Amino acid sequence: MIFELTMPLPPCMNEIINQARSSWQASAELKKYWTNLIGEFVRECEFCFDSTVWIEFHWYLKNFARDSDNVAAAAKFIMDGLVTGRAIRNDNLTVIQSPVVHYYHRSSGDDGVLLRLSQSPDFLLDNFIVSNQFSRHSLEKYNQKITHLISKQL
């Protein structure tokens, strides 16, 4: 089963750094506020993963001049909120499986994030194929090339 959560965009890296520069208390308050906000939201959604999880982030942004790594830093608040809301038992690498995929989309409305989670990685292929605009024919062609290259090495 795939769970999808849509929420406002938490603070990004530059905002986090600016808060930390003002004082460590302000930074801690920012972290606590967003972690608890997301945790409360997740708790209301009433879902729980008891083992490993694959995650896909869809960042919706009005301003594409932002750095992707700056935006992706907001994942910290989201992951911690998933733990606080008891949707996952931990956000370490024994629970959160690779790859953690990030997609960036233009938004005509407010900045936000769509989070997709599943206990199976299969759902990750759907958006990978769409985002890279591979056709079935192209995938088969590349699969044949890869198979051919591997067979030459054996």
pLDDT at 129: 61
Burial class (CB in 10 A: 0-12, 13-18, 19+), 121: middle
E strands in the chain:
2-8, 54-61, 101-106, 112-118
Contact 9, 112 (CB under 8 A): yes
Most distant CA atoms of the chain, gap in Å: 60
Percent of the chain with pLDDT over 90: 73
pLDDT at 138: 66
How do strand 112-118 and strand 54-61 relate by DSSP bridges?
Answer: antiparallel
CATH class of 2-119: alpha beta
Mean pLDDT value of segment 41-66 = 94
Of residues 17 and 154, more confidence is placed in: 17
Mean pLDDT value of segment 55-68 = 94
pLDDT in tens, 24-41: 899 999 999 999 999 999
pLDDT at 139: 65
Residue 104 burial (CB count, 10 A) = 16
Q: For the chain, give the mean pLDDT.
A: 90
Q: What's the predicted TM-score (pTM) here?
A: 0.80
